[in-house]
């Protein structure tokens, strides 16, 4: 018995130039060499593409030209990034992230339909809010920018998902990009207030949501975008998605283990009763071979029970490692349960 080896899916919702492609490059840059024993591994073609983009991002002298090109609006341009999350060399989660043309969400083309299909299968939704929308000295203009640049198109997609799933949403992670730009105009409290106002479905009852600001570098936009590449917070949204995926797998495994072990325990009790009944017979009529067979079956059942428990403990320990890491990072993101902002604590298991 064990967790099923399958590819998980994280869907990224974001308009053109919101920073989805740059986020993936920065996240891979941070995670490919490991964080607290967790390492991100990409397939060869994805790895080569991301390494090219990271090298380009380090070309400070070219300024704005260092950033990845836009994802153009055709189905061939949909980019699937397949990753494996490993802990101390052992694969623990495999998943894919999908990048696409943000403009397709307004054109309702084939890419838009592909995105909607992807959402259905996703463990978590990532909603990218372009930090540049907050770059205004006027508060009302900042709000209007977020609405027209992002919320007007993306919030209905969240509601569509809920409508198709009996009002249930997966965890939603709001990724505010280009924090290096918007921090000059807005504080964290205003960002939270605006996102909650324009994405109300994600903060309803029975929802789990996060808000995290990220950047490719605190000074990367300085001197006509010739600042240093130094990603910060980019790994946190990724960790949150993996945490929820692993929690889902743990919950499934626990259900299966409890069911299997209950059956094994019932079988063991019946076998013990059969041995007791056999031992109560006169010795001359007692079937020693049958007693030994029952004892062997009990031994096998005990071994299976212990094996299942060890699998569950291993999965629980890994889930706790995810949770402990996020607790350590909790000052760098906001966590919401049923729309209320609370302090992050690892799930009680």
- Compute the distance between CA of residue 170 and CA of residue 59 in angstroms, rounded to an integer: 38
- Kindly report, residue by residue over 213-248, the tens digit of the pLDDT: 999 998 888 888 888 999 999 999 989 988 988 888
Give the rounded percent of residues in the chain with a pLDDT score beyond 70: 92
- Compute the distance between CA of residue 37 and CA of residue 90 in angstroms, rounded to an integer: 10
- Kindly report, residue by residue over 246-302, the tens digit of the pLDDT: 888 899 999 999 999 999 999 999 999 999 999 999 888 889 999 999 999 999 999
- Compute the distance between CA of residue 98 and CA of residue 13 in angstroms, rounded to an integer: 9
- Compute the distance between CA of residue 266 and CA of residue 38 in angstroms, rounded to an integer: 39
187, 139 in Cβ contact below 8 A? no
Q: Enumerate residues 6+ apart whose C-beta is below 8 A from 117.
A: none
Name the pLDDT band for 161 (thresholds 50, 70, 90): confident
pLDDT(200) > 80:
yes
- Kindly report, residue by residue over 102-154, the tens digit of the pLDDT: 666 776 667 777 777 777 777 788 999 999 999 999 999 999 999 999 999 99
Strands (E), the chain: 7-13, 38-42, 79-87, 90-99, 124-129, 172-176, 208-213, 334-337, 340-342
Q: What local confidence, expressed as pLDDT, does residue 70 receive?
A: 62
Look up the pTM and report it.
Answer: 0.88
Q: Is 346 helix (H, G, I), strand (E, B) or coil?
A: coil
Q: In what order do the strands lie in the sheet with 340-342?
A: 38-42, 79-87, 90-99, 7-13, 124-129, 172-176, 208-213, 334-337, 340-342
- Of the two residues 347 and 80, the one the predictor is more confident about is 80
60, 226 in Cβ contact below 8 A? yes
Q: Is 83 helix (H, G, I), strand (E, B) or coil?
A: strand
First-to-last alpha carbon distance for the chain, in angstroms, is: 20
12, 104 in Cβ contact below 8 A? no
205, 338 in Cβ contact below 8 A? yes
């Amino acid at each position: 018995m064990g967790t099923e080896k399958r590819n998980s899916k994280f869907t990224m919702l974001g308009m053109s130039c919101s920073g989805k492609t740059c986020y993936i490059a920065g996240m891979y840059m941070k995670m490919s060499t490991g964080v607290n024993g967790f390492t991100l591994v990409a397939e060869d073609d994805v790895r080569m593409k991301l390494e090219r983009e990271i090298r380009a991002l380090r070309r400070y002298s070219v300024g704005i030209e260092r950033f990845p090109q836009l994802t153009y609006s055709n189905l061939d341009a949909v980019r699937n990034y397949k990753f494996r999350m490993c802990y101390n060399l052992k694969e623990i989660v495999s998943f894919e992230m999908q990048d696409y043309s943000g403009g397709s969400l307004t054109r309702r083309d084939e890419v838009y339909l592909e995105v909607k299909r992807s959402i259905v299968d996703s463990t978590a939704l990532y909603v990218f809010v372009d930090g540049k929308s907050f770059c205004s000295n006027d508060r009302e203009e900042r709000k209007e920018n977020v609405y027209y640049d992002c919320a007007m198109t993306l919030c209905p997609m969240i509601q569509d998902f809920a409508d198709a799933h009996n009002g249930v949403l997966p965890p939603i992670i709001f990724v505010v990009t280009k924090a290096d730009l918007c921090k000059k105009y807005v504080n964290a409290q205003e960002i939270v207030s605006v996102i909650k106002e324009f994405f109300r479905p994600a903060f309803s009852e029975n929802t789990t949501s996060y808000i995290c600001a990220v950047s490719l570098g605190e000074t990367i936009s300085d001197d006509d975008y010739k600042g240093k590449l130094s990603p910060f917070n980019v790994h946190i949204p990724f960790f949150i998605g993996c945490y929820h995926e692993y929690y889902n797998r743990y919950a499934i495994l626990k259900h299966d283990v409890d069911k299997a072990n209950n059956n094994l325990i019932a079988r063991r009790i019946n076998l013990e009763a059969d041995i007791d009944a056999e031992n109560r017979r006169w010795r001359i009529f007692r079937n020693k071979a049958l007693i030994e067979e029952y004892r062997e079956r009990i031994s096998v059942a005990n071994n299976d029970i212990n094996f299942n428990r060890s699998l569950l403990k291993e999965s629980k320990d890994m889930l706790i490692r995810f949770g402990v890491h996020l607790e350590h990072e909790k000052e760098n993101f906001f966590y919401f349960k049923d729309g209320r902002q609370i302090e992050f604590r690892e799930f009680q298991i």
